Chains A and B, each alone.
Chain A
Amino acid sequence: MKRNPLCVARTQVVRLACAALCLACGVPAAAEALRAPAEFTYDANGVTTVTLRAAESAVTVGDQPYTSLVFNGDYDAPLIRTRPGGVVRITLDDEMDEFTNLHFHGMTVSPLNQGDSIFRLTNAHSVGTYDIQLPPDHSPGAYWYHSHFHKGAERQVSGGLAGPILVDGMLDPFPEMKGIKERVLVLRSFQKTATGHLASEITTGAPAIRTINGQLDPDVSIAPGEVQLWHVYNVDANQYFRVRVGDLQMQLLSQDGNTVVKKVMTDELLIGPSARFSVLVTGPDAGRYPIMLGAANTGPAGDTYAGQRLGTLVSSGDRVPTKTITSAYPVSPDLRAVEPAKRRRFVFQDSATDPHAFMINGRQFDAGRVDTTVKLGDMEEWTLVNPSQELHQFHIHQVDFQVVRINGEPTDFIGYRDNVFIPALGSITVRIPFTDPVILGKFVYHCHILEHEDGGMMQVIQVVKPEDYEQAVKLEPLGGIYGDNQTCSYLRNTGRELNPSPLATKLATIGGQP
């Protein structure tokens, strides 16, 4: 880790002393500059070695002391940096009195063995290991890791058991942008309590402390004309963030770790639970520009979140030349050009009788069963229907998808993503390429409002080789052909030795929209 804990402690002491002095003088304390998270990065062989110690710890949330469940004693969890073709080796030291595990959100990596499997748990006061191997063609961008312990994920993620991952290389297609400053901005929301401890049960919409990198209302510096690349992560369990930076236009470069296929400008980021946006921010004229979180509402039967100022963009100094993208955007296949091998319908529904129960197609999550079996090499079209009067947030592990229709109406293609809202009393249609052999195995799709996921709005999917499809379907009630992703000899096949499927070959030959 780059940050020296002793230095941090001294800095905080000095900061507190300054704050006390300013208070005594009647002068408001200046806002802190945004700090970068502590970081684990890769060595010359591309291996990032990480130790995450999950423990109940005394931390500072914004400007208030709390005892919470965090990694490595810090509410601002460390950044894990890797690269395409890299390896992330994690030791998860669970020093809590409860189970936990890790999911590597958005990453196209194997769910098998020591990989990205939510079916593995690390017991209390024991150690788990993860060995995440990124394919050489893994998309660069912003990803994240978090607890996926079913029926405990909402609370553990809210407490702080979630952190950012950055796969280097996003600017490689744009050499003209090389050297611009990159920032990681991790948005969190921590429920206030009177006890000073993490709430034992999370109440959506309750008063909360919203922070960037664990800081309350920090200053983010920039020079007029300077272009910075901000990786903005929503790692909160439930909340949608509506973020504006003054009235500035931002250029969207990537969503959910997928570089967009064309220029997209916006003055507001609507960041659903689990979403990440990488945006180019250009320094405006000298001045202070509030980074505002707008109040949000998730529907008549949903939750309400208060707005607040998250931070301030401080533009100062001499104007510098503004860099702009002149290279072509990377090409991503537009899946509308391909006929889906299968169409499915999934209904995301609140229970009419139990406010804590949520269902997909009338079923609640059962880790011991498989709900959906897909042939490796197929592209499928899924229509996600939401008959409840609140938003749901669809996410599928291991793969990305393309949104093709919202409420039945065709939508523009700007790139892939790994999570998307499902309109309250509406629908969304996505096309999912199950083409990369690395995804062979068993994983899940679910609502990423973790209150809903913990309440059962999650299902199990297995991706199998075509020749195993019929047998795999027969075994769905018994958990499918992968068992627990650990104990079956079938799992020794990583899929990498398979030849590309016909669809994968076709996708490689077609381009996305300009």
Chain B
Amino acid sequence: MKTRLLTLAGALASALPLAAAATDGKYPSVGMDYGISAQYDFSRLARSPDTITSDGYFDVQSAAHVRITPDDEIWLAAEASPVVDVSPGQRRWLGGTGLEVNDLNWYHQGYAYNFRVGKLDVPFGRAQDVAPGLYTNGFVAPYALGGMIGANYEYRFYSDSLGIIAPSLSSYFVDTSVLSRAYFQPDRQTHRSDGGAANTGEPNSGALVVNWLAPAQIPFLELQAGYMFNHKGESVAAEPGSPAQVAADETMRTFSARYMIPFASTTELGPTLAGRYLDLVPFVEYVDVTNENGIAGNDTPT
């Protein structure tokens, strides 16, 4: 039995850059970005009685990038958002907020490649980027692996006929260092004993993703296929309601397609600048998860 998540596009997010700072043309230099979005998650489970859960919160993200050379930067990203899960049936507003370090890594941009080493998000799945409104526990969270210690390497092949084909390889494990603390929530820090997939202290989990972008004949098509293997943790993760409490390796497969359909007349310069453009952007993402969170049999019946 496997979890099957099918998400249809519905991008819903607002990111408001509030401020930014710094580069002096010499190295090292420092730049900063800030962003804030407001989100309200609402779910209703058709049980008896009906269970309505809601969670309204702000997601405040900030990132500092210290440029060492024109192509090398140190990234430090932090996020203030709910770190305590909302309970079924709870109606919460601005609750459970903590401040976490999401990224602290060395980022190198090469001519046709880039890599990151350090604490990072594992690039896998696209819903969190192209449909951030779906970035919730019920949909994208199971395969959005943030807070991993490891490395990611991407190379971009290009040809006029095939467009960009960009394989990406990641190797990682769960961060249990002091960087995994959630500030304002003193009890929240990840430990090895928490168990869960990839919580092994060794880089024995990995992901391979291939992105295919803008082929010549279908220039507005974007495809992604990916496979992820997460080694079982030393202990089983606590998972209320899970039928079994045995640690197991977690695997995921994903495939997504996004196609952007512009109305050509609205893409002329005048209509665009006047804000009179119209694009249709259907997006489909399929994810197949086995032993979610490293728990044997923690699958959703299909």
Partner-B contacts on A (CB < 8 A): 96-100, 124, 149-152, 155-156, 199-203, 205-206, 240, 242, 268, 270, 272, 294-300, 344-345, 347, 349, 352-357, 359, 361-364, 366, 369, 385, 387, 389, 391, 406-407, 409, 421, 423-427, 456
Contacts and interface: CB of A to CB of B under 8 A. Distances in A.
Given A349-B214, A364-B109, A366-B111, A201 B129 contact: no
Contacts of A205: 17
Contact of A345 (B216, B269, B273): B216
A406 to B, nearest CB: 7
B70 A385 contact: no
20 contacts: A149-B25, A151-B25, A152-B23, A156-B25, A200-B24, A201-B20, A242-B273, A270-B269, A345-B216, A354-B107, A361-B158, A361-B164, A363-B111, A366-B111, A387-B219, A387-B260, A424-B272, A425-B220, A425-B267, A426-B267
A200 B126 contact: no
Contact of A200 (B17, B23, B216, B272): B23
Contacts of B163: 347
Contacts of A96: 25
A423 B269 contact: yes
B158 A363 contact: yes
Given A99-B25, A359-B156, A391 B164 contact: no
Contacts of B19: 203
A242 B112 CA distance: 36
B32 A201 contact: yes
Interface in B227-271: 260, 262, 264, 267-270
Contacts of A270: 269-270, 273
A347 B166 contact: no
A97 B26 contact: yes
B256 to A, nearest CB: 11
B220 A387 contact: yes
Interface of B: 17, 19-26, 30-33, 65, 67, 70, 107, 109-112, 114, 123, 126, 129, 156-158, 160, 163-164, 166, 211, 213-214, 216, 219-220, 222, 260, 262, 264, 267-270, 272-275, 277, 279, 281
B22 A299 contact: no
A294 B110 CA distance: 39
Contacts of A202: 20
A461 to B, nearest CB: 15
A200 B21 contact: yes
Contacts of A149: 25
Nearest to A363: B112
Query: What 6 pairs across the A-B complex have the smallest Cβ distances?
Result: A98-B25, A200-B22, A362-B156, A425-B262, A423-B267, A362-B158
A199 B272 CA distance: 28
B17 A369 contact: no
B56 to A, nearest CB: 25
A172 B9 CA distance: 58
Contacts of A427: 219
Nearest to A344: B160
A424 B25 contact: no
Nearest to A153: B25
Contacts of B211: 352
A149 B279 CA distance: 35
A298 B272 contact: yes
A423 B70 contact: no
B267 A297 contact: no
Contact of B274 (A124, A297, A353, A391): A297
Given A98-B24, A200-B31, A364-B110, 15 more contacts: A124-B25, A151-B67, A151-B70, A242-B274, A296-B274, A352-B211, A354-B109, A361-B164, A362-B158, A363-B156, A387-B214, A389-B260, A389-B279, A423-B264, A456-B109
Point out which of A100, A344, A359 has the most chain B C-beta atoms below 10 A from its C-beta. A359
Given A347-B219, A353-B129, A425-B262, A364 B268 contact: no
A294 B272 CA distance: 12
Contacts of B31: 200-201
